[in-house]
Structure 1
Amino acid sequence: MFFIDQLFMQQDHQEGNLPLVGRHVIERVDLETGEKLPPSVNQKVLEGSFSTKLTIRCDGTRVRVEGNPSRWQRIDNLFGLQTIDECVEIYNHVLASYDLPPFTKNTRFAHRQKPDGKKSSLIGNGAEITLIDWTRNHAVGKGREQSFIRGLSSMQIGRGRKPKLYPDGGTCNWGEASTWMMSKLYDKARELKRHLMKAQRKKEGVSPEVLQYVTDLISYCELVGVVREEHSFRQTLLKRHNLQFYGNVTEQDFYQHLQDIESAMKTIHISHDEHQTIADQLLSLGAVKSRQAANATQSYAMMWQHGTDLRQILGSSQFYEHKARLKAIGIDIGQQFDVSRMCPTLKRSEVIEVKPLRVPDWYKMPIVAESNVLPFHAYA
């Protein structure tokens, strides 16, 4: 099931006279006419519990909030809010704290006049969505996250959106710089670890309760192999499909645009390969008694793979000793090496089965009412 991960919203109040909210305000004057222009206000950053942040801004006419409502006042957002109304309820609580009017649903529409030769644009009387991220989780199996992400990174999705695989193999983006849409897959456990390390480096550190909860969450993600799928709808796409008008669209209206990665998964079988060195295989099967003996036999196996006739450099007893060890793992150095007939380090190859991620019983799901009673303050 998809839920909302990020939401940018704004609403214009033509009557004006709203409180200015931001860090700084710049008064502007038209130098040619001397006319006073609307003030320019930069955004104010709000910080809630667990280092969560939102930004808010009002220039007297336009009210804007940016952030991740599913993460606000929560330890994590492995699972988040599934409806736009829930997200707006959180934002409206923040707006009320600054005596600003709430975001409202669009009930009337009109065409905004444009210069000659250009199409008019549709405007509503309520809030406008300028960016929204939809997210879901996949369980691909322990240790298979990187194989899954690398497998899908071999494919373009949608209308020719090319993949960008990060060097660590744990993240892949499609359309990263697009003004239309960006899609993304990444290893969730790895991201949680990165955020935890960042929090631990801060002066205030991490409380024992939070540390235990996040540690359990990381363990759960690693156990089932959680890969996060995200789709960021940018302003161009929202306006093209009239998805920007809060109250005039439902969650289902977005779902038809969330199928690119799903379609790619249906057309590709991704396998997860487990490899072991020859030395590790010898030790695990008990063919040798020490790492030193395993490494020695492995070095002769590698020489054999490069075309060396081991009978010419080993005594008879040594040759048959190493041959017996290697036969235990399916390598026969008595035959000429043929790369097309064997893969001596491949232990197992399995097709990855993708499942929806189950919510564990101990997981703390988001509750809007709880988020709205927690205090927050201006961070910058």
Structure 2
Amino acid sequence: MFFIDRLCIQQDYPEGNLPLVGRHVIERIDLETGESLPPSVDQKILEGSFSTKLTIRCDGQRYRVEGNPSRWQRPDNLFGLQTLDECVGVYNHVLNTLNLPPFTKNTRIYYRQSPDGKKARLVGNGAEITVIDWTVNHQVGQGNELAFIRGMSGMNIGRGCAPKLYPDGNTCNWREKSNWIMTKLYNKAAELRKHLKKESKTVTENQDTRLEYIENLITYCESQGVVREEHSIRQAFLKRHNLQFYGAVTESDFYPHLHYIENAMKTIQISHDEHQTIADLLLEKGIVNSRQAANATQNYAMIWQHGENLKNRLSRSQFYEHKARLKAIGIDIGQQFDVTRMCPTLRRSEVIQVSPLAVPDWYQLPKVAQSNILPFKAFA
């Protein structure tokens, strides 16, 4: 089940006169009219328990909170909050401590009047989501994390989105710098070990208990082979699909946009359930209708495996025709051939079985209504 790993949300308060929240305030004056303009306020980082942080800003009229609601006031976020209401509840609890109004749901969505020549823009009367990260944990078996990530790194996802495998093999990104949507797979135990290293350098209350708890989490993740799948949906994507209006959308509205990794795993599962030639498999799955077409595509796959760039050999239409056929069985000739990334190392049955990660009995699940913000003053 997907849960929310990061949420950035903002809302306009038309009445104004809210407390200014930030690190610095810049007062602005129109030099021609002498009229006072809305102040410019930069963001302030709020620190909570367990070295958790949220970023908040309010210029008197618009207030914004960024962070990880599933991680707030917790030693980890292996499992997190599954609904938008729970996440907004965490933020509203923090806003209340700063004398700011809560984020509210949109009850009306309308087109805002725009200047001549500009496209009309949809706005609402509630909070607007600007970034949201959806996460799910996969259990691939002890010691299989790197093989799973390496295998997946041989596949483009979506519309030709190329993978980026990190040198240590623990992380693979697709569309890393996109302002649309970014997808990532990473080894959760390795990520927790980095966090543990930082935690051990900071002397805090009940540190030994906290470090022991994180060690137990690392042991659990290693024993289960936990790989985390993460989709970071950015503002441009949200606006394109009208997903930015809190209250007007539900969690299920996001799910259709989180299927890229699952689709890639399905094609790899199909292609390696049995040991067959590429041509036989293409025919069996109905991807081609003749032995001649199957043999032709298999031939180009073998040429690709010998390191040749097929874009230089085939016409554009031929290349994409064979690429589509082969990608349907888990072979992506759009990527440079790498024997360490070949699909036989990534089978969802028999070799690597992928299943949802269960929540252990001793795990501390998140609580919405709790807050222990370190001293901070908001200036009116």
Deviation per residue, 1:306-351 (Å, 9 max, x gap): xxxxxxxxxxxxxxxxxxxxxxxxxxxxxxxxxxxxxxxxxxx962
Conserved 8 A contact 1:29-1:37: yes
Higher Cα Rg: structure 1 or 2?
1
Cα displacement (A) at 1:32: 3.5
- Aligned pair 1:65/2:65, yes or no? yes
Following the alignment from structure 2 to structure 1, what is the Cα–Cα distance between the partners of residues 69 and 108?
26
Separation of aligned partners in 1, 2:110 and 2:227 = 42
Structure 1 distance, partners of 2:375, 2:68, is 16
Distance 1:239 1:40 in 2: 25
1:123 paired to 2:123:
yes
Secondary structure (helix, strand or coil) at the match of 2:252 reads: helix
The residue aligned with 2:246 is: 246
- In structure 1, the partner of 2:199 is 199
Q: Which residue in the other structure is 2:339 paired with?
A: none
Q: Is the 8 A contact 2:111 2:120 kept in 1?
A: yes
> 2:359 is paired with a residue of what secondary structure?
coil
Gaps (5+ residues) in structure 2?
Answer: 273-346
In the TM superposition, what is the alpha-carbon distance from 1:55 to its structure 2 partner?
Answer: 1.0
Instruction: Tell me the SS of whatever aligns to 1:155.
Output: coil
Q: 3-state DSSP class of the match of 1:63?
A: strand
Partner SS for 2:27: strand
**In 2, are the aligned partners of 1:47 and 1:378 still within 8 Å (CA)?**
no
Are 1:351 and 2:351 matched, yes or no?
Answer: yes
Q: Distance in 1 between matches of 2:166 and 2:192?
A: 17
Residue equivalent to 2:321: none
CA contact (8 A) 2:46 2:373 kept: no
Q: CA deviation at 1:29?
A: 1.8
CA distance in 2 between partners of 1:16 and 1:367 (Å): 31
After superposition, what is the alpha-carbon deviation per residue over 1:171-193, rounded to whole angstroms, capped at 9, x for unaligned? 00111111110000000000000
Would the aligned equivalents of 2:47 and 2:373 in 1 still touch at CA under 8 Å? Answer: no
Which residue number in structure 2 is paired with residue 46 of structure 1? 46
Structure 1 partner of 2:292:
none
**Shift in Å, 1:379:** 10
Q: Distance in 2 between matches of 1:247 and 1:356?
A: 28
1:37 matched to 2:37? yes
Residue pair 1:55, 1:65 contacting (<8 A) in 2 also: yes
8 A contact 1:7–1:66 mirrored in 2: yes
Q: Which residue of 1 aligns with 2:221?
A: 221
Cα 1:90–1:145 shift into 2, 3 Å: same
Alignment correspondent of 2:81: 81
**TM-score normalised to structure 2 length:** 0.76
Shift of 1:225: 0.3
State the secondary structure of the residue aligned to 1:368: coil
| Distance 1:165-1:377 versus aligned 2 partners, 3 A rule | farther
- The residue type equivalent to 1:2 in the other structure is F
The residue type equivalent to 1:200 in the other structure is S
Conserved 8 A contact 2:138-2:356: yes
Structure-1-length-normalised TM-score: 0.76
Indicate the residue corresponding to 1:99 in structure 2: 99
Where does 1:274-285 land on structure 2 (aligned, <5 Å)? none
Percent sequence identity is 68
Residues 195-247 of structure 1, C-alpha deviations (whole Å, 9 max, x = no match): 11011122448711111111110000000100000000100010011100000
C-alpha contact (below 8 Å) 1:199/1:205 kept by paired residues:
no
Give yes or no for contact 1:47–1:379 (8 Å, CA) kept in 2: no
Alpha-carbon distance change, 98 to 34 in structure 1, aligned in 2, over 3 angstroms: same
User: Is 1:65–1:91's contact at 8 Å kept on the other side of the alignment?
Assistant: yes
* Runs of 4+ with >3 A deviation: 203-206, 374-380
Task: Report SS of the residue matched to 1:129.
Answer: strand
Q: 1:210 to 1:57 in 2, by over 3 A?
A: same
1:114 positional shift? 2.1
Matched position secondary structure for 2:268 = coil
1:119-148 CA-partner distances (Å, limit 9, x unpaired): 201110000000000000000011110010
SS across alignment from 1:267: helix
- Distance (Å, rounded) in 2 between the aligned partners of 1:117 and 1:375: 46
Look up the SS of the partner of 1:161 in the other structure: coil
Tell me the CA shift for residue 162 of structure 1. 1.2
Aligned-partner Cα distance in 1 for 2:187–2:161: 21
Q: Following the alignment from structure 2 to structure 1, what is the Cα–Cα distance between the partners of residues 206 and 137?
A: 26
Which structure 1 residue ranges, 5 or more long, are not aligned?
Answer: 272-348
CA distance in 1, matches of 2:108, 2:18: 22
Q: 1:346 is matched with which residue?
A: none
| 1:174 equivalent in alignment to 2:174 | yes
C-alpha separation in 1, matches of 2:43 and 2:373: 19
The answer to whether the 8 Å contact 2:199/2:211 transfers is no
Q: Aligned partners of 1:365, 1:61: CA distance in 2, in Å?
A: 35
Assess if the C-alpha contact under 8 Å between 2:200 and 2:211 holds in 1. Answer: no
Q: Would you say 1:15 and 2:15 are equivalent positions? A: yes
Q: For 2:199, give the aligned amino acid.
A: A
Q: 1:199·1:206 contact (CA, 8 Å) conserved in 2?
A: no
2: CA distance, partners of 1:218 / 1:233: 28
Is 81-90 or 198-207 further displaced after alignment? Answer: 198-207
Question: Which letter does structure 1 place at the counterpart of 2:4?
Answer: I
In the TM superposition, 1:122-201 aligns within 5 A as 122-201=122-201
* Secondary structure in structure 2 of the residue aligned to 1:146: helix
Q: Secondary structure at the match of 1:351?
A: coil
Give 1:108 shift.
Answer: 1.2
| Residue aligned with 2:54, SS | strand
